[in-house]
Chains A and B, each alone.
Chain A
Amino acid sequence: MILDLVKISQLCSEMEDSGKLDLSVVPLIDRVIRFAGQKERDVKKLTGSPDDSFVKYHAWRTISDIAASLEFRFENASKANDNPQVALDTLGVLPKLQGLAALVLSIENHKTDLKTRMIILDQVSQVRDCARQCNCLVGSKNENASVSRSFARDLARFVGRVETRLP
């Protein structure tokens, strides 16, 4: 996973220098997506406390979403005249993405405490901000298309929950 991200970074630097699109980056990104997707499913099966699993799930889902956006952009770069901007944007988001991946991998066999969970959530938020600025984030449109029918109930419960969490 980390190695794939490093290779993607090297290829993007070369694309930036040459100004030419290199689609050999796509299978590497695809591997990142599949790896993160598998981790998403794995953490759901963890027997520990759900808040611990959720934070790890949220981090892996973010990695997988951003990687999916990168893949989409590379695949459509020729048509959309997105080269070399796509390589530059990818280079902008990769260091943070790599940092987040390294962090969640380092704690995957450990039960996290509240402080660590807050650090992870903070990092996720920073990665998403960075990805948004670099146009490397799946829009809410795609996210919305996959919500289940029970989402309304989940949302209503969350709104109530935040109100009880207000200081």
Chain B
Amino acid sequence: MTSKVFVETSVLINASVYAVVKGSGLSKSIQMQALYFEKSNSLIAILRKRNAEKIGVTSETVVREARNAIRNAVQDEANERGEAVFRSLSIILNQCEERLERNIQALHVLGANRNDVNTRYFAVRKMYDDLFRKCQTYDPQRIKKDAIRVAESTASPPYRALAVGIQRKQMHQEHGQLRSLLNKKPSPNDMMFVAEASIIASQHRPRLSNMFLASTDVQLSPVTESGRIVSCEITDEIFRRFGVRCDWPDRILIQL
């Protein structure tokens, strides 16, 4: 039995945005990296090492989106700051693109049947619509009511106010991933990645034991705190409906 890891844009970008420069114009070397560089890069490094096993996979959609994200960011920066930073941006773009291409080479870019993916995409979109309706019911008023109800049945009167506060905080955390849909809906490409990963998984079953989707996006991967999962309603629903286990790159790494 084998596992596969579908690497989506956020991980590919986080593993690629890194630059270290030591030059005569500088007193010491400079190193900058994306927020989740360590987590993302350690996963890609293992996938590169085990390249022959074809564990790490991705799609053309991801590759295109990753390249565009870096190129768009450079152009945004050029627009805002003008010609004074052209040279720096040109160097940064070269370094990040070279790293991105190396990271893409560590993965197998698979082309799933477009018709199957499109059909699955609509199923994924329906899932997010269902979850969005569900998250609307978890408004602060509803959470407060639920917290009071739980506190009334579990805490004695002198401690109820305290218990309500604790319950509210817990419920906010517990439904945090679902409630994130209120502020930001997933992009069509995010939904496409779930569809693509799910179709690739079905192409490789029954030999495939786990299909992971590596992401640093909390609308796919669970919300964690010090490595511990605190909210995972969307992640669980994706797994239940499509058999794809979304998770953070460092958490997937220890399961490989």
Q: Do chains A and B stick together as partners?
A: yes
Interface string of A138-149 (1 = CB under 8 A from B): 001001111111
Asked if residues B90 and A161 are in contact (CB atoms below 8 Å), the reply is no
Chain B binding surface SS class: helix
Segment of A6-14, A55-63, A69-77, A87-95 in the binding face: A55-63
Say whether, besides A144-B23, A167-B189, A161 and B30 are in contact (CB < 8 Å): no
B4-31 CB mask vs A (1 if < 8 Å, else 0) is: 0000011001000101011111100010
Interface segment out of the listed B67-75, B126-134, B138-146, B238-246: B67-75
Complex-state Cα separation, A53 to B97, whole angstroms = 20
Report chain A residues within 8 Å CB of B81: 50, 154, 157
A12-50: which have CB < 8 Å to B? 44-45, 49-50
A51 at the B interface (CB under 8 A): yes
* Majority DSSP secondary structure for residues of A touching B: helix
- Check if B19 sits within 8 Å of A155, measured CB to CB: yes
Of residues 131 through 166 on chain A, the ones whose CB sits less than 8 Å from some CB of chain B are 132, 140, 143-152, 154-159, 161-166
A161 to B9, CA, bound (A): 15
CB contacts (< 8 Å) of B25 on chain A: these are: 145-149, 151
Task: Tell me if A118 is interfacial: C-beta within 8 Å of chain B.
Answer: yes
Number of interface residues of A (CB under 8 A): 43
Shortest Cβ-Cβ A-B pairs, 5 listed = A54-B78, A154-B88, A51-B75, A144-B23, A44-B83
Task: Show 29 residue pairs from A and B whose CB-CB distance is below 8 angstroms, ordered by the A residue.
Answer: A45-B83, A53-B86, A54-B83, A54-B89, A58-B89, A58-B93, A118-B68, A121-B93, A125-B67, A140-B94, A140-B95, A145-B24, A147-B87, A147-B91, A148-B25, A151-B21, A151-B26, A154-B77, A155-B19, A156-B32, A157-B81, A158-B89, A159-B32, A162-B17, A162-B69, A165-B72, A165-B73, A167-B10, A167-B189
Q: Which residues of A contact B (CB under 8 A)?
A: 44-45, 49-51, 53-55, 57-58, 61, 117-118, 121-122, 125, 128-129, 132, 140, 143-152, 154-159, 161-167
